[in-house]
Structure 1
Amino acid sequence: MRSTRTAATFSKPFTLSGYPGELPAGDYEILVEEERLQGLTFETYRRTATYLKVHGNGANAGRTELRLTTESDLKKALGRDQAANETNSHTDAALSPQEDRS
């Protein structure tokens, strides 16, 4: 077995498939567990679990939860977050007003 840790940043609150409610925007740690496949002539690993590390807030402050998820669900959540940012950056409110020369 081996574990790798990566990070993901969500700029907006987001949802994760299989869990109720929204998670707040912020930085999250992703833990991936893999097992080595035996009997091959080269070293390779198979993903066995993907977790999102969620820090509690409010009444749950100080608690940390590892939420089992999938690589696909994380990619979808990050994709929705990125799409929301791109949409917001192209609205009229986000653009500088043009000078009136009349």
Structure 2
Amino acid sequence: MFSRTKHRTIHFSEPFRLPDIEGLLAAGDYEVDDDEELIEGISWLAYHRVATFIKVPATADNGQRMRLVAIAPEELDRIIAIDHAKHAPTRALQP
């Protein structure tokens, strides 16, 4: 089976929490990897996501160890949406 990993960077403007991780994570840029597998048996190339990981950098709080944390894509999308909503530009109300 063919697989690939897509890499992306996500910016958090405020500290945030991840499920199963104790404490707050600092605001900043975080690398996210999406592992995908080729869907076989169709006449075009298509992939489906099988795993999502966020890289938590080494800090004094976590014993100076970088961690690769598995997270449900929907949960990551929810956390990103909360952060972005707090920092979205607001429109002035028109009379």
TM-score (norm 2): 0.81
Shift of 1:18: 3.4
Higher gyration radius (CA): 1
Shift of 1:79: 1.2
- Residue aligned with 2:30, SS: strand
Larger proportion of helix: 1
Taking the aligned partners of 1:48 and 1:40, their CA distance within structure 2 comes to 18
**2:60 — aligned with what?**
58
1:12 aligned residue (14, 34, 39): 14
**1:70 — aligned with what?**
72
Structure 2 portions without partners, runs of 5+: 91-95
2:39 aligned residue (29, 37, 52): 37
Q: Identity of paired residues, percent?
A: 31
Tell me the matched-pair count: 87
When the two chains are superposed, the root-mean-square deviation of aligned CA atoms in Å is: 1.7
Structure 1 portions without partners, runs of 5+: 91-102
**1:2 — aligned with what?**
4
Structure 1 residues 40-97: Cα deviation after superposition (integer angstroms, max 9, x where no partner)? 1111111000000010211522x211100022111111111122224xx76xxxxxxx
TM-score (norm 1): 0.76
Whichever residue aligns with residue 49 of structure 2, its letter is R
Whichever residue aligns with residue 46 of structure 2, its letter is T
